[in-house]
Amino acid sequence: AQRVTQPEKLLSVFKGAPVELKCNYSYSGSPELFWYVQYSRQRLQLLLRHISRESIKGFTADLNKGETSFHLKKPFAQEEDSAMYYCALRRWGGYQKVTFGIGTKLQVIP
């Protein structure tokens, strides 16, 4: 069985402070990990994928297979980062069974 754990339902940080949204997973095979974001009144959209190793809107995430983690980080939070963030996992290779975490609401305080 595959499982995604996001331990924090709500994370509040001040503008300009570093952000780390935690994601841990449980999966016996080779996983693909994703971060999706949902801004207020907008659709859920992909933020980044572990294999791309790119930075999107200043966010990065590194897959740590030893710790089975895929934490999302940003060095300086901005007000427009306030949103719901979901970590998601699927089996490597395009298999479409996808498991999402419960989500973390990021609140950036001006």
Helices (H) and strands (E) in the chain, counts: 0, 11
For strands 3-5 and 104-109, give the pairing.
unpaired
Among 16, 17, 26, 46, binds other proteins (CB under 8 A): 46
Shortest distance, position 103 Cβ to other proteins, whole Å: 5
The string of DSSP letters for 36-76 reads EEE-TTS--EEEEEGGG---BTTBEE--BTTTTB--EEESS
Closest CB 16 distance from other proteins, rounded Å: 29
Least distance to other proteins from the beta carbon of 3, Å? 10
Give the span between the Cα atoms of 20 and 59, in whole angstroms. Answer: 9
What string marks each residue from 61 to 100 as x (binds other proteins by CB under 8 A) or -? Answer: -------------------------x-x-----x-xxxxx
Binding site for other proteins (CB under 8 A): 6, 9, 32, 34, 36, 43-46, 49, 51, 86, 88, 94, 96-103
